[in-house]
């Protein structure tokens, strides 16, 4: 059986289930308690679970992410909410230089079972400082797992296995998806080990993740009406990348377009392209193409913001270019 659920409510349900089923789990971050969460993900949690398990923090990401690491080392299962991805830059030392390295630096004696959730992405007119897509930065770092739930089902099901992971997991929730609705199985079990084909096809593989998935699916529908059968692959797990699923899709379709809201230079799209070239070069009938954000700070003005970001029509144009 399935039921209809919103992305926002799916995340809230997942956290509620974790808090209710495991006393080691607690939530901490800015405005998660009395305010109910910046995006209402934790509304009502403070009254139900109390201030020991729903902890409002000072405006210091460096401090409270560090506190989450310490709690994880002490045997708890913290969910640390960072309001937006740009604020996570203030905690980079804790995430990259401590949490990601603790198992290695301790010779395997310690692990950090920590989950860090953060909103990411543009498209909401919140200007350049709050519109970053820095998932590729974190996907560069050994020692952490990086997830990007792009569907309601993944939003509902990814948290439990993330909390069960003995090492740090960073979950990027694209804010443009928060009003998305979808069907969710009653028993929502999600694999956080690999990519997933969201639409089967034979003519071109469109590979994407996060907030760009609905745009890729929209582009695939437009292409289908014009006789081009596009497959859409949702990466879902950005580290470690599921190279096998990527290569299998490209080998079948023989053309590929990578869609990434990150900037082109040094992007995750570039890494995906490199893996295709390393593993499926002789399967290709055309050069790999990519659609990324323009190399500018994301503008505030709606028309400029839309122009700077990947859009379905840009994806369609990139696919058509492979058949020219």
Is there a catalytic annotation at residue 130?
A: yes
Q: Copy the structure tokens of residue 131.
A: 């519109």
Task: Please identify which of the residues 61, 81, 261, 305 carries the catalytic annotation.
Answer: 61
3-state DSSP percent of the chain in helix, strand and coil, to 5: 40, 20, 35
Q: Collapsing DSSP states into helix, strand and coil, what is residue 124?
A: coil
Q: Copy the structure tokens of residue 125.
A: 């007119």
Q: Collapsing DSSP states into helix, strand and coil, what is residue 260?
A: strand
Using CA atoms, how far apart are residues 134 and 205, in angstroms rounded to an integer? 24
Is there a catalytic annotation at residue 305?
A: no
| Residue-by-residue DSSP string for 8-19 | HHHHHHHHHHHH
List the 169-174 sheet strands across, edge first: 54-56, 25-29, 77-84, 115-120, 169-174, 145-147, 237-239
Using CA atoms, how far apart are residues 233 and 150, in angstroms rounded to an integer? 11
Using CA atoms, how far apart are residues 135 and 143, in angstroms rounded to an integer? 15
Task: Please identify which of the residues 9, 81, 130, 231 carries the catalytic annotation.
Answer: 130
Phi and psi at 62, nearest 5°, equal: -60, -40
Phi and psi at 68, nearest 5°, equal: -65, -40
Taking the mean position of all CA atoms in its chain, how far away is CA 187?
Answer: 22
Q: Collapsing DSSP states into helix, strand and coil, what is residue 47?
A: helix
Give the residue numbers marked as catalytic: 61, 130
């Amino acid at each position: 059986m399935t039921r209809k659920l919103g992305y926002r409510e799916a995340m809230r349900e997942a956290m509620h289930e974790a808090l209710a089923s495991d006393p080691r789990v607690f939530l901490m971050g800015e405005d998660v308690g009395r305010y109910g969460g910046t995006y209402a993900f934790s509304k009502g949690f403070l009254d139900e679970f109390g201030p020991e398990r729903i902890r409002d923090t000072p405006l210091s990401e460096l401090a409270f992410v560090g506190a989450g690491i310490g709690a994880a080392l002490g045997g708890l299962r913290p969910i640390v909410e960072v309001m937006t991805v740009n604020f996570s830059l203030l905690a980079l030392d804790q995430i990259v230089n401590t949490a990601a390295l603790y198992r290695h630096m301790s010779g395997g004696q310690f692990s950090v079972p920590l989950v860090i959730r953060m909103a990411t992405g543009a498209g909401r007119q919140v200007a350049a400082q709050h519109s970053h897509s820095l998932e590729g930065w974190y996907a560069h770092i050994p020692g952490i797992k990086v997830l990007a739930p792009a569907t309601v089902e993944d939003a509902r099901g990814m948290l439990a296995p993330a909390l069960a992971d003995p090492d740090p997991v960073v979950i990027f929730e694209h804010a443009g998806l928060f009003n998305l609705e979808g069907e969710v199985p009653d028993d929502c079990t999600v694999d956080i080990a690999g990519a997933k084909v969201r639409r089967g096809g034979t003519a071109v593989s469109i590979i994407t993740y996060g907030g760009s998935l609905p745009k890729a699916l929209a582009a695939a529908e437009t292409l289908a009406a014009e006789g081009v059968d596009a497959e859409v692959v949702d990466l879902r797990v950005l580290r470690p990348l599921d190279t096998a699923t990527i290569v299998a899709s490209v080998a079948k379709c023989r053309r590929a377009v990578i869609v990434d809201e990150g900037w082109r230079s040094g992007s995750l799209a570039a890494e995906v392209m490199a893996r295709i070239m390393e593993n499926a070069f002789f399967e290709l009938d055309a050069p790999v193409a990519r659609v990324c954000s323009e190399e500018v700070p994301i503008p505030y003005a709606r028309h400029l913001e839309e122009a700077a970001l990947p859009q379905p029509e840009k994806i369609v144009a990139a696919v058509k270019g492979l058949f020219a």
